[in-house]
A and B are shown apart, each in its own frame.
Chain A
Amino acid sequence: MNLALGRAGVTLGLAAAVLGVITVGYGLVRKRPDLVRLSRWYAALVFFGGFIAAFAMERALITRDFTVKYVADNGSTKTPALYNFATMWGALQGSIILWALILGGYLVAVVLKFRKRLADPLVGWALFTMLIVCAFFFGLMVGPANPFKGFSPPVGFDGPGPNPLLQNNPLMAIHPPMLYLGYVGFTVPFAFAIAALITGRVGEGWLLATRRWTLIAWGFLTVGIILGSWWSYEVLGWGGYWAWDPVENASFLPWLTGTAYLHSVLVQERRGMLRVWNISLLCATFALTILGTWITRSGVLESVHAFTTSSIGIALIGFFALIVFSTVGLIGWRGDRLRSPGRIDSPLSREGAFLANNVLFAAFAFVILLGTLFPLAVEALNNDRVSVGVPYFNRMTMPIGLTLLFLMAIAPVLPWRKASAELLRHRLIWPAWIGIGSMIFAVIVGARGFIPVLAFGLGGFAAGSAGRQIALATRRQGWRGFVGRANGGMVVHLGVIIIAMAFAASTSYVRQAEFTLTPGQSAKFAGHTLVYEGQNVKQESAKIVDQVLIRIDGTGPWAPSLNKFANGNQTIGTPSVRSTFTDDVALSVIDIKDGDNGSVTIRVTVQPLIIWLWIGGGVMAFGTLLAVFPGRRRNPLDAVSAPVSVEPPKEPTGVTP
């Protein structure tokens, strides 16, 4: 029943997408608006197909219908309800259903938003592009990633359940959907960019039409990445939250190019420049989401998060190649129209800063891409093995990160067109003192080392600058000084700074040690006292939990544990973390000796400011919401910047949303 329903959903989605591509494409080429307008029905059917597939899969999981092979492979009667529900995105085939469902959702949202413009060739070609992407993903579910394969379970069969790591923390239920909402969301601006190239309407119209979509996708991606690192901190138990692992990098790459785009697009909106660059960034972002899926799902690279391997690799890399070749071809074809008349007057200007930002973000993305794929390239060319890991990424990205912080301090106060040293002297002195204050504070509380203290200084400088913009905007506009793109953007900056500071502090001052303790024994480490009290064994439906009870500085007991799952003989540790605003003490069990004295080996990781990573993530998400909220409306005919020849005004005019 579920099998049939699911297959029907996939078939419906695929058929609707393919027919939609043909109909809309034909209508666009033959200039038949009546056919182009049919896209709305195809969109609805694609979404409906995805919905039925997802519904069938959830129903199969919940009723433990083991005639569906996916459920037999990944489900179990013992899995708790929440993790059972989340099993849909716990393995490859099911995660493609989620992808297709979200893509269908975005498709319908675009149709609804542009319902009055469906016959407009720009919207038509955008929907055409989206339908092609839909056809590809539904095609995957028919071919290499079929979630509805049959299985005939023997009597009394029970599946192994999802990977134990995936049923250890409730974040599993929200992190993948958030990430996918981000990944898939970039399809919308990408489709409009392609449509702009095809129709030749490469002006700013498509940008304005999609900028909020881009921001929303970016916000989801940000939240998804941060939740993912939180998950890895709470589950993997090695004391860290970011390992520059291929899967983490795969999600970070589109974030970097997407962030670059969000900034450089402002130059195009204001000045009509950088058209080729913006389209390239957007297409790169979308292509990187596909490349990221390939990295994650094809099993070419080793990763702790890659929970599946399959033959889907060829399809994904082929689709990636198609995207790259068609966008490069289209940009080449439209080269003449993409040339823009304007020029940037001075490097010391808002647009100059955005260009610098783009060079830095592009360099950042290049380092990550190179480091991630380098082992693969070396092995292919040289048949040699090499590893590129945390030390490489930390060393290479640190100077880029510091420069970005510096830029984050300068750029918000710069006016468009041209700034003078005099102007910067005025506007930046207070942010500079805030930066100095934060350095002095860091040194007083014991921070040492050139790089981390410099990072705290630059962080304070950048925070002062963002705070200055918010203060000026609220003084002028009241509560509206918080909303709109420019003001919300400053709140996002604050979130980024908080995360950067927490990252600098935790990477620079991490302390880690292992202790073997017998009950009643205590250990002192990094200013904390740990007392091992004893063990507590709990029997749960899917696992046996052997908790080690430890008091940290008299609080607790904290209970890191080893979980022995009923199915299979994997033993998975669950760490326990005591968080405070100043530092985190993370405990994980390395070994429990089978003996009568009950001695255990635990790993203790003490890192400062970890909690601020999650707080910073919350601030970024909040700032994105503020930025999505419409700011003060500006009459499109109002001048947005003063002519070059005039002395720049004393107070900023650049904050106009």
Chain B
Amino acid sequence: MSSLLAKGSPLRRWGPWIAVFVVTVAVLSIATFGARSAPTAQDRVTTISRSVKCPVCSGESVAESNAPASQEIRRQIAEQVQQGQTDEEIRSFYAAKYGQAILLTPSASGVNALVWILPIVAFAIGIAALVIVFRRWSSMPAERATDEDRKLVDSALRAEADDSDLDDDPHGEGASR
């Protein structure tokens, strides 16, 4: 037991991190499963109307817009929530009435699925490219400075020291490094 807690033992070194991990899991579970007030009918109306596009304005949701049509839809959504319809039922009601474009969340079927899939594909390609690049780098032999290289550097340094009164930076490129 004493060897487990001895100075420099893995437990001693990583103990604080284990504590960090445990506390994080605990706090996040409280945050996720802890008691919280259920969304009120009003909150549901807000959430739904934020995902339905205003049919007469440019690029605003029903929640944002002040157009009479949007006010009417908000009132209607409130009624539908009162009647006990689910969020999905209400959304598909508007999709059926005005067409799919009324929903600000594109559906995940047909061509529209691309808008969900492409970012994941692009991200995967990015990660794959990184992995490949690192593989190539790690298989590359590390370059060692040869004696010739060292001579070159030494002579450059000597020249530098000799010309220190000259403008060693004619283009001002490294002046404020």
Contact = CB atoms under 8 A, between A and B. Distances in A.
A binds B: yes
A597 interface: no
A593 interface: no
A345 B13 CA distance: 26
Contact of B115 (A243, A306, A388): A388
A443 interface: yes
B53 A385 contact: no
Contact of A392 (B42, B59, B106): B106
Contacts of B106: 374, 386-388, 392
Interface in A425-454: 425, 429, 432-433, 436, 439-440, 442-443, 447-450, 452-454
A588 B71 CA distance: 14
A453 B60 contact: no
Contact of B122 (A366, A449, A514): A366
A266 B164 CA distance: 28
Contacts of B63: 238, 512
B97 interface: no
A448 B101 CA distance: 33
B101 A387 contact: yes
A341 B42 CA distance: 61
B140 interface: yes
Nearest to A208: B173
A170 B159 CA distance: 59
Given A374-B106, A443-B30, A359 B130 contact: yes
Contacts of A378: 111-112
B61 A432 contact: no
Interface in B84-109: 99-106
A457 interface: yes
A314 interface: no
Nearest to A426: B13
Contact of A363 (B50, B58, B123): B123
A277 to B, nearest CB: 11
Interface string A256-272: 00000000000000000
B145 to A, nearest CB: 10
A205 B174 CA distance: 8
A513 B126 contact: no
Give the one of A385, A395, A448 with max B CB within 10 A.
A448
Interface string B124-138: 001100100110010
A246 B140 CA distance: 45
A439 B24 CA distance: 8
A293 B99 CA distance: 30
A443 B27 contact: yes
Contacts of B137: 343-345
By CB atoms of chain A within 10 A, which of B31, B65, B122 has the most? B31
Interface stretch (A8-16, A544-552, A629-637): A629-637
B80 interface: no
A248 to B, nearest CB: 10
Contacts of B123: 359, 363
A630 B176 contact: yes
Interface string A385-406: 1111111100110000000000
A566 interface: no
A209 B176 CA distance: 10
Contacts of A367: 119
Contacts of A343: 137, 140, 142
Interface of B is mostly: helix
A284 B24 CA distance: 39
A371 B122 contact: no
B174 A208 contact: yes
A362 B173 contact: no
B28 A450 contact: yes
A439 B27 contact: yes
A174 to B, nearest CB: 24
Interface in A505-532: 510-514
A113 B32 CA distance: 56
A578 interface: no
A389 B127 contact: no
Contact of B174 (A511, A630, A636): A636
Nearest to B101: A385
Contacts of A557: none
A422 B14 CA distance: 9
A432 B133 CA distance: 31
Interface in A456-475: 457
Contacts, number: 185
**Which of B16, B58, B118 counts the most chain A CB atoms within 10 A?**
B58
Contact of B177 (A243, A395, A440, A634): A634
Contacts of A303: 58-59
A10 B36 CA distance: 63
Contacts of B101: 375, 385-387
A304 B63 CA distance: 14
A382 B60 CA distance: 23
A447 B31 contact: yes
B111 A243 contact: no
Given A208-B173, A436-B23, A449 B105 contact: no
A564 to B, nearest CB: 14
Interface in A465-514: 510-514
Given A304-B59, A387-B103, A208 B28 contact: no
B119 A366 contact: yes
Contact of A370 (B14, B46, B103, B119): B119
Contacts of A633: 176-177
A158 interface: no
Given A117-B171, A363-B126, A237 B66 contact: yes
Interface in A180-233: 204-205, 208-209
Given A304-B60, A439-B28, A384 B104 contact: no
A436 B26 CA distance: 10
B173 A392 contact: no
Contacts of A386: 100-101, 106, 111-112, 115
A389 B174 contact: no
A208 B115 contact: no
Contacts of A366: 118-119, 122
Contacts of A432: 17, 20
Given A243-B61, A363-B119, A454-B28, 13 more contacts: A205-B171, A209-B171, A243-B59, A304-B58, A359-B123, A359-B130, A363-B122, A374-B114, A378-B111, A386-B111, A450-B32, A457-B27, A637-B157
7 pairs of A and B residues whose beta carbons are closest in the complex: A389-B104, A238-B64, A453-B31, A302-B58, A385-B101, A343-B137, A302-B59
19 contacts: A205-B171, A208-B173, A238-B63, A238-B64, A304-B58, A341-B143, A343-B137, A344-B137, A378-B112, A386-B115, A387-B53, A389-B59, A389-B61, A389-B105, A391-B105, A448-B31, A450-B31, A457-B28, A633-B176
Interface of A: 116-117, 120, 204-205, 208-209, 236-240, 243, 245-246, 301-304, 306, 341, 343-345, 347, 355-356, 359, 362-363, 366-367, 370-371, 374-375, 378, 381-382, 384-392, 395-396, 422, 425, 429, 432-433, 436, 439-440, 442-443, 447-450, 452-454, 457, 510-514, 573, 588, 590-591, 630, 633-634, 636-637, 644
